[in-house]
C-alpha cells in the first residue's frame, strides 16, 4: 500500500463552490417539486384515479444533485395489484394532465411508457410505477427506484457533499454515467460507494487498489455470482449488481484517475480542460507525423435514442475491426463518434494498403489428401504468383482480394453483423474517408473527438 497525504480541504471547498447547489437553487427545486406533487394529485383526483402516491426520487430528492443540473424524477405509484395495462393508461393520462402546464412534453419508453417534460426550466420525468412490498418483487425495473431512494436517503445525510465531489470527480475522469454510451458509474452506484467507504477521500484511496472482481455487499445478502469487474450488490435486491453496466475500461479509467489524483490532488481532476477542436492544418500535420492510415466510415445518424444507438455503434466498431483484421490489415485502434446528422466509426491502421501478393499457407505435404486438395486449388491458377514448400507445408503466393481497407469496407461492411437501425442507415449509403479527406467533417464536436483520437 502506498501512503498519501490527505486531500486538501481547500481543494474540496473550491470544487464544492462550483458544484453545490446554492440555497436559492435548493429552494426553487423544493418549490417546483412540491408544485409537481400537487399537480399529480390534482390530476389523479380530476381523472378519478384513487390510491395514488407521488414520490420524488433521484438525486434531486436526496440532495445529491450537482448544481446546474435540473433533473426531477416524479414517480406516480399505483397499488401493486393494478393491471399493467391500467397502470400504463392511467399513469400516462395523469402525466399528460400535468404536462398541460409544461413548456414541452415528449413520450418516452423504458420498460413501460413515461413522460418527459420541461417544467419551469426543469427536466422532469413523470414515471408511473407499481408500489411493491420489496425490491425483490419488482414488476419492472423502474419500480426499484423508490427503494433505492429510501435506502440512500436514510444513510447519506451529512455526506451529500462527498457524493457531489465524487460525481464531479468521475465526470472529470470521463467515467460518470451508466447509460450505454458511457458504461460508467451511475448516481446510485456513487452514493453506495460513499455509504460503504464513508467519504470521498476514503473511496478514492480504496478504488486506487481495486482489481477486477472487487465486491461490495453492504447488506451481506448477495445471492448470485457475478462476473463483472466491479460487483456492488444492490442493498435493495440481493440478486442485482448495481455496477453491471460498468465496462472494464471505465473501471480501469476510474482506478487510474484515483491514483493520479492522489499523487497530486488538483482541481483539473474535477474540471479537466476541454480539448480544443482540431483544425485542418493541425490535423494534416498530425497525419504527417504519425504516418499511419486513418479511415472514417461516415453515415447518417440513425434517429434513435443513445441507449439504442450506442450499443449498435460499438457492435459496428467491432464488426469493422474484425473485417479489417480478417483481411490482414493491422489495426492500431478503433473509435466511435456520433453527432446530430452524421456518425463516424474511426479506424487507425498500420497501413490502409497491402501488396497484391498474399501468402497462403497450406497443410503439411504429408497430410496427403488435404495437401493435394490445397495444391490442386491453387496450382496453375492465373491469380497465383507461385508456390513452394516451407516448413513442410505447401505455400502459394496468391493475388490478394482486397488490397485497400477502403475497398474492403465498401464491399463487405454491409455483410457484417450490424444492429438494426445502424444497418438501415448504413444501407442507405456510407462513405469511407481516408486521411486528409477526413477534413471534410467540420462538426466541432467531432473535431474535439479527433483531438483526443490522434
Minimum Å distance from CB 256 to its own copies? 6
Reading phi first (left if > 0) and then psi (alpha if -120 to 50, else beta), residue 328 is in: left
Q: How far apart are CA 348 and CA 294, in angstroms?
A: 5
Give the residue, chosen from 249, 303, 381, 431, that forms a contact with its own copies under the rule CB under 8 A. Answer: 249
Answer for the pair 180, 111: CB distance below 8 angstroms, yes or no.
Answer: no
Where in 354-373 is the site for its own copies (CB under 8 A)?
Answer: 354-357, 359, 364-366, 368, 372
User: What does residue 52 show for φ and ψ, rounded to 5 degrees?
Assistant: -105, 135
Interface with its own copies, residue 199, by CB under 8 A: no
Which of 219, 267, 332, 414 is in the footprint of its own copies by CB under 8 A? 332
Could you count the other beta carbons within 10 Å of the beta carbon of residue 74? 26
Residue 325 or 351 with smaller CB distance to its own copies: 351
- Please list every residue from 257 through 286 that binds its own copies, using CB under 8 A: 259
**Residue with cell string 482541481:** 267
| Of the candidate residues 209, 322, 417, 444, the single one contacting its own copies (CB under 8 A) | 209
Q: Give the shortest CB-400-to-its own copies separation in angstroms.
A: 9
**Residue placing its CB nearer to its own copies in the complex, 77 or 334:** 334
| Burial class of residue 337 in the structure, from the number of CB atoms within 10 Å of its CB (0-12 exposed, 13-18 middle, 19+ buried) | buried
290 binds its own copies (CB under 8 A): yes
**For its own copies, the closer CB: 263 or 442:** 263
Q: Judge contact between 262 and 205, C-beta under 8 A.
A: yes
251 binds its own copies (CB under 8 A): yes
Alpha carbons 49 and 265: distance in angstroms, whole number: 54
Of 154, 220, 391, 415, the residue at the interface with its own copies (CB under 8 A) is 391
Q: Does 85 bind its own copies (CB under 8 A)?
A: no
Q: 308 or 395: whose CB is closer to its own copies?
A: 395
DSSP 47: T
**Binder to its own copies among 27, 46, 221, 333 (CB under 8 A)?**
333
211 near its own copies (CB under 8 A): yes
Contact flag: residue 198 with its own copies (CB under 8 A) = no
385 binds its own copies (CB under 8 A): yes
**Min. distance of Cβ 131 from its own copies in angstroms?**
41
Instruction: Report if residue 326 touches its own copies, rule: CB under 8 A.
Output: no
Those residues whose C-beta lies under 8 Å from the C-beta of residue 423, and which sit 6 or more positions away, are 414
Q: What is the dihedral of CA 40, 46, 50, 55, to 10 degrees?
A: 0
State the number of binding residues for its own copies (CB under 8 A). 46
| Identity of the residue, 23 or 382, whose beta carbon is nearer to its own copies in the bound complex | 382
| Contact flag: residue 401 with its own copies (CB under 8 A) | no
How far is it, in rounded angstroms, from Cα 197 to Cα 301?
A: 42
- In the complex with its own copies, the residue whose CB is nearer, 71 or 256, is 256
Q: Is 253 in the site for its own copies (CB under 8 A)?
A: yes
Q: Which of 305, 350, 414, 436 binds its own copies (CB under 8 A)?
A: 350
H-run or E-run covering 398: strand 393-399
DSSP class of 239: E
Sheet of 342-349: strands edge to edge? 331-338, 342-349, 293-300, 430-434
C-beta contacts of 261-267 below 8 A and 24+ residues apart: 261/169, 261/204, 262/2, 262/4, 262/7, 262/204, 262/205, 262/208, 263/4, 265/7, 265/8, 265/11, 266/11, 267/11, 267/14, 267/15
Q: CA 116 → CA 14, 32, 38, 41, 103, distances in Å?
A: 34, 15, 18, 18, 11
CA distance 7 to 4: 9
Pick between residue 109 and residue 291 the one whose CB is nearest to its own copies: 291
102's grid cell: 409544461
Give the rounded distance of the alpha carbon of 55 from its chain centre: 28
State the nearest-atom distance from the C-beta of 112 to its own copies, in Å.
Answer: 36
Minimal distance in Å, beta carbon 136 to its own copies? 32
Sole binder of its own copies in the list 88, 97, 150, 256 (CB under 8 A): 256
> What radius of gyration, in Å, describes the C-alpha atoms of the chain?
28
CB of 389 to its own copies, least distance (A): 5
Binding site for its own copies (CB under 8 A): 209-212, 229, 248-249, 251-253, 255-256, 259, 289-293, 328, 332-333, 350-351, 354-357, 359, 364-366, 368, 372, 375, 385-386, 388-392, 394-395, 397, 403, 454
Amino acid at each position: 500500500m502506498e501512503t498519501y497525504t490527505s486531500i486538501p480541504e481547500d481543494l474540496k471547498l473550491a470544487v464544492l463552490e462550483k458544484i453545490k447547489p446554492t440555497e436559492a437553487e435548493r429552494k426553487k427545486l423544493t418549490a417546483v417539486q412540491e408544485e409537481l406533487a400537487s399537480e399529480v394529485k390534482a390530476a389523479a383526483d380530476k381523472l378519478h384515479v384513487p390510491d395514488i402516491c407521488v414520490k420524488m426520487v433521484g438525486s434531486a430528492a436526496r440532495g445529491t444533485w450537482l448544481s446546474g443540473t435540473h433533473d426531477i424524477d416524479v414517480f406516480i405509484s399505483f397499488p401493486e395489484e393494478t393491471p399493467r395495462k391500467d397502470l400504463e393508461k392511467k399513469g400516462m393520462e395523469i402525466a399528460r394532465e400535468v404536462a398541460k402546464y409544461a413548456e414541452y412534453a415528449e413520450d418516452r419508453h423504458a420498460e413501460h411508457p413515461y413522460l418527459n417534460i420541461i417544467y419551469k426550466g426543469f427536466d422532469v420525468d413523470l414515471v408511473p410505477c407499481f408500489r411493491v412490498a420489496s425490491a425483490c418483487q419488482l414488476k419492472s425495473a423502474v419500480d426499484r427506484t423508490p427503494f433505492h431512494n429510501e435506502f440512500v436517503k436514510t444513510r447519506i445525510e451529512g455526506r451529500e457533499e462527498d457524493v457531489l465531489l465524487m460525481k464531479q470527480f468521475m465526470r472529470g475522469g470521463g467515467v460518470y454515467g451508466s447509460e450505454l454510451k458511457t458504461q460508467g458509474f451511475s448516481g446510485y452506484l456513487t452514493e453506495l460507494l460513499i455509504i460503504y467507504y464513508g467519504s470521498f477521500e476514503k473511496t478514492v484511496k480504496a478504488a486506487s487498489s481495486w482489481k477486477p472482481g472487487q465486491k461490495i455487499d453492504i447488506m451481506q445478502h448477495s445471492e448470485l455470482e457475478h462476473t463483472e469487474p466491479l460487483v456492488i450488490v444492490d442493498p435493495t435486491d440481493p440478486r442485482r449488481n448495481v455496477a453491471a453496466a460498468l465496462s472494464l475500461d471505465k473501471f480501469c479509467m476510474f482506478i487510474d484517475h484515483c491514483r493520479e489524483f492522489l499523487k497530486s490532488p488538483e482541481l483539473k481532476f474535477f474540471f479537466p480542460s476541454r480539448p480544443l477542436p482540431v483544425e485542418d492544418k493541425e490535423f494534416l500535420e498530425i497525419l504527417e507525423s504519425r504516418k499511419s492510415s486513418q479511415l472514417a466510415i461516415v453515415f447518417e445518424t440513425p434517429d434513435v435514442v443513445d441507449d439504442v444507438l450506442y450499443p449498435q455503434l460499438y457492435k459496428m466498431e467491432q464488426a469493422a475491426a474484425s473485417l479489417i483484421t480478417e483481411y490482414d490489415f493491422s489495426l492500431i485502434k478503433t473509435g466511435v463518434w456520433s453527432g446530430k446528422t452524421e456518425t463516424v466509426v474511426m479506424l487507425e491502421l498500420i497501413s490502409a494498403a497491402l501488396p497484391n501478393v498474399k501468402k497462403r499457407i497450406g497443410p503439411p505435404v504429408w497430410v496427403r489428401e488435404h495437401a493435394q486438395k490445397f495444391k490442386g486449388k491453387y496450382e496453375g491458377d492465373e491469380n497465383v504468383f507461385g508456390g513452394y514448400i516451407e516448413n513442410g507445408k505447401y505455400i502459394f503466393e496468391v493475388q490478394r482480394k482486397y488490397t485497400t481497407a477502403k475497398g474492403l469496407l465498401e464491399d463487405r461492411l454491409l455483410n457484417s453483423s450490424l444492429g438494426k437501425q445502424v444497418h438501415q442507415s448504413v444501407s442507405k449509403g456510407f462513405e469511407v474517408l481516408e486521411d486528409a479527406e477526413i477534413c471534410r467533417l467540420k462538426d466541432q464536436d467531432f473535431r474535439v473527438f479527433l483531438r483526443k483520437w490522434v
